[in-house]
């Protein structure tokens, strides 16, 4: 019997792993329970371990606190039980901010309190495409603005994505029969490798656990098989700090085989078994079939909805961070969720973000070899991703914590404005005023002699041009009139669409 640890020292929020050799007979995935208690002073954390094939059992742990941790294994198999050891957890190095959590109701931050602004994209089946394309995807992501990737565990069977996977998640015999009670560790090791590479690049892996695009029978697994699969995933992956759990893509297309009670149970398993309480959500297919995101175990709202000006309603309805992961994709395929223009997707991103939400990107341009980014990864062929990079840069240069939408006036049901303290970002979209004042600093705020740096932002051409404060627009005196809201100054604009204005207080 041997026990091995990855090292005697591990960085905070990195993975410490214990591996042991144990039985290979019977079905180790079902027969053997293994976990380990990790202890630091009075704290005990007990992650489950998992069988990795060839008689190897592993327990992974992500320590969240520097110090000298001890551990002892627990198992129903004598030879795996009661092994102990210790390791030192050192403080996180630069660039390691820990896992992402909800902060301030509507936003996110890493565990070290660094703000996290979600700018995600989607490559559902990229880990099933073979190394060449997968490495190209990683190279593309290195140049792209995305810090979250929606990706499925299971292979995908859907138009433009009909190739067999390189590896199957369950053992499969030569006749093509799957044994849903036996995992294929090689497949999961490969998946973990990709998750780990994303981690190194600072990209959150938004792991989609179930989806309806299936010809291998994964949708028809029974409840116990589903629960075992979920527990196996947690045991293998929860120690990766960049993991987010997305229970399903378009879960509502699966309700015939997985009733609502099962989805609730999945959330409970994540609550019970994930020692780190990674972010948890679930993604709808039909707009009106959303899972009830007010349920307390849902950490943030994942939504598919093109009607992005509803973001303020969603914030009010759910009081959680809103990520509109499918506000339709840039592309040209014959599906209306996958053929909006780059201009339109850029526009929708701006509306979501300025109103204190987050949006997701996807690209679905038809391709002779069916290399559509949204399914397989590869390279980006569109135009919106560059503008999303520009938006991300603007948001990251702003004050920490994201934006809170203006709501004081009905004006904000039509144009978008958000603020964070003395920082303001207005987005006019399809509106093209020559003059503006609503949402600008009030006379009262400016009464202390404050000065303001004002910038005109062209969201498509990606230019930022300083603006001078101008006179207030005339306001109607009579009832029914829209006022200029007692602003300290107005601005003059070029009168064309897709502009934004940033206003920052200058300390004087």
Residues that bind a copy of itself (CB under 8 A): 157-160, 211-215, 219, 250, 253-254, 285-287, 306-307, 309, 328, 332-337, 339-341, 343-344, 366, 410-411, 413-415, 428, 430-438, 473-482, 484, 490, 495-497
Residue partners of 98: CB distance under 8 A and separation at least 6: 12, 13, 64, 92, 110, 111, 112, 241
C-alpha 183/C-alpha 179 separation (Å) is: 8
Cβ contact 281:358 at 8 Å? no
Q: Residue 448's CB: how many other CB atoms inside 10 A? A: 8
Report in angstroms how near the CB of residue 250 gets to a copy of itself at its nearest. Answer: 5
3-state class (DSSP) for residue 101: strand
Report in angstroms how near the CB of residue 338 gets to a copy of itself at its nearest. Answer: 9
Q: Residue 9's CB: how many other CB atoms inside 10 A? A: 13
Residue partners of 428: CB distance under 8 A and separation at least 6: 415, 416, 436, 493, 497, 498, 499, 500, 501
Query: Would you list the DSSP string of 281-309?
Result: E---SSTT----TTSTT--SEEEE-S-GG
With the CA atoms of 410, 414, 420 and 425 taken in that order, what torsion angle do they form, in degrees rounded to the nearest 10? -140
Report in angstroms how near the CB of residue 157 gets to a copy of itself at its nearest. Answer: 5
Our CB check for a copy of itself shows the closer of 272 and 313 to be 313
Report in angstroms how near the CB of residue 342 gets to a copy of itself at its nearest. Answer: 9
Our CB check for a copy of itself shows the closer of 321 and 429 to be 429
Backbone angles phi, psi at 389, to 5 degrees: -60, -40
Our CB check for a copy of itself shows the closer of 117 and 251 to be 251
3-state class (DSSP) for residue 43: strand
Our CB check for a copy of itself shows the closer of 158 and 423 to be 158
Report in angstroms how near the CB of residue 431 gets to a copy of itself at its nearest. Answer: 5
Report in angstroms how near the CB of residue 426 gets to a copy of itself at its nearest. Answer: 11
Our CB check for a copy of itself shows the closer of 421 and 476 to be 476
Six-digit token pair at 482?
Answer: 């829209």
Cβ contact 298:283 at 8 Å? no
Report in angstroms how near the CB of residue 330 gets to a copy of itself at its nearest. Answer: 9
Our CB check for a copy of itself shows the closer of 145 and 429 to be 429
Report in angstroms how near the CB of residue 496 gets to a copy of itself at its nearest. Answer: 8
Our CB check for a copy of itself shows the closer of 112 and 317 to be 317
Helix axes 260-273, 223-237, angle to 10 degrees: 30
Report in angstroms how near the CB of residue 97 gets to a copy of itself at its nearest. Answer: 35
Q: Residue 57's CB: how many other CB atoms inside 10 A? A: 24
Q: Can you name the residues that pair with 4 across neighbouring β-strands? A: 19
| Residue 397 φ/ψ region, left for φ over 0, alpha for ψ in the -120 to 50 degree band, beta for the rest | alpha
First-to-last CA distance in the chain? Answer: 70
**Of 356, 501, 496, whose CA–CA distance to 427 is shortest?**
501
Report in angstroms how near the CB of residue 255 gets to a copy of itself at its nearest. Answer: 11
Our CB check for a copy of itself shows the closer of 333 and 389 to be 333
C-alpha to C-alpha distances, 429 to 102, 355, 450, 457, 499, nearest whole angstrom: 29, 13, 28, 11, 6
Our CB check for a copy of itself shows the closer of 197 and 409 to be 409
Our CB check for a copy of itself shows the closer of 82 and 217 to be 217
Cβ contact 424:403 at 8 Å? no
Report in angstroms how near the CB of residue 467 gets to a copy of itself at its nearest. Answer: 14
Our CB check for a copy of itself shows the closer of 57 and 365 to be 365
């Amino acid at each position: 019997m041997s026990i091995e640890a990855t090292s005697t020292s591990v960085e905070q929020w990195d993975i410490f792993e214990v591996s042991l050799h144990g039985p290979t007979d019977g079905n180790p995935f079902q027969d053997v329970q293994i976990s380990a208690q990790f202890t630091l002073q009075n704290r005990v954390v007990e992650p489950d371990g998992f069988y990795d094939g060839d008689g190897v059992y592993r327990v992974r742990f992500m320590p969240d606190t520097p110090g000298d941790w001890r551990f002892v294994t627990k198992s129903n198999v004598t030879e795996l039980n009661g092994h102990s050891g210790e390791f030192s957890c050192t403080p996180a190095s630069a660039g390691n901010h820990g896992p992402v959590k909800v902060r301030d109701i509507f936003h996110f931050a890493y565990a070290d309190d660094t703000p996290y602004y979600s700018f995600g994209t989607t490559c559902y089946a990229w880990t099933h495409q073979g190394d060449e394309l997968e490495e190209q995807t990683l190279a593309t992501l290195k140049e792209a603005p995305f810090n979250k990737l929606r990706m499925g565990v299971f292979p995908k069977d859907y138009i433009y994505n009909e190739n067999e996977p390189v590896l199957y998640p369950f053992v499969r015999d030569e006749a093509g029969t799957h044994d849903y009670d036996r995992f294929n560790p090689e497949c999961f090791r490969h998946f973990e490798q990709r998750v780990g590479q994303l981690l190194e690049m600072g990209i959150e892996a938004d792991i989609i656990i179930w989806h309806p695009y299936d010809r291998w029978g994964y949708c028809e697994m029974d409840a116990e098989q589903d629960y075992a699969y979920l527990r196996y995933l947690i045991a293998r992956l929860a120690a990766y700090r960049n993991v987010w759990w997305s229970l399903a893509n378009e879960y509502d297309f699966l309700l015939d085989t997985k009733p609502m009670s099962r989805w609730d149970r999945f959330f409970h398993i994540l609550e019970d078994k994930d020692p780190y309480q990674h972010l948890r959500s679930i993604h709808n297919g039909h707009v009106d079939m959303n899972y009830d995101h007010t349920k307390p175990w849902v950490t943030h709202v994942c939504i598919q909805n093109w009607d992005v000006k509803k973001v303020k309603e969603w914030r009010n309805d759910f009081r959680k961070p809103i990520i509109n992961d499918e506000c339709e994709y840039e592309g040209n395929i014959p599906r209306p969720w996958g053929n909006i223009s780059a201009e339109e997707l850029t526009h929708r991103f701006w509306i979501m973000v300025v109103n204190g939400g987050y949006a997701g990107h996807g690209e679905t341009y038809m391709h002779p070899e069916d290399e559509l980014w949204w399914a397989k990864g590869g390279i980006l062929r569109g135009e919106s991703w560059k503008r999303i990079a520009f938006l991300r840069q603007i948001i990251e240069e702003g004050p920490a914590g994201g934006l809170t939408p203006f709501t004081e006036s009905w004006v904000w049901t039509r144009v978008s404005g958000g603020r964070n303290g003395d920082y303001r970002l207005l987005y006019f979209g399809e509106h093209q005023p020559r003059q503006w004042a609503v949402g600008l600093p009030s006379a009262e705020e400016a009464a202390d002699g404050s000065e303001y740096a004002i910038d005109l932002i062209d969201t498509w051409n990606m230019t930022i041009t300083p603006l001078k404060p101008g006179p207030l627009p005339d306001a109607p005196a009579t009832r029914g009139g829209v006022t200029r809201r007692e602003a300290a100054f107005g601005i003059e604009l070029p009168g064309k669409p897709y502009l934004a204005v940033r206003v920052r207080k200058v300390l004087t």
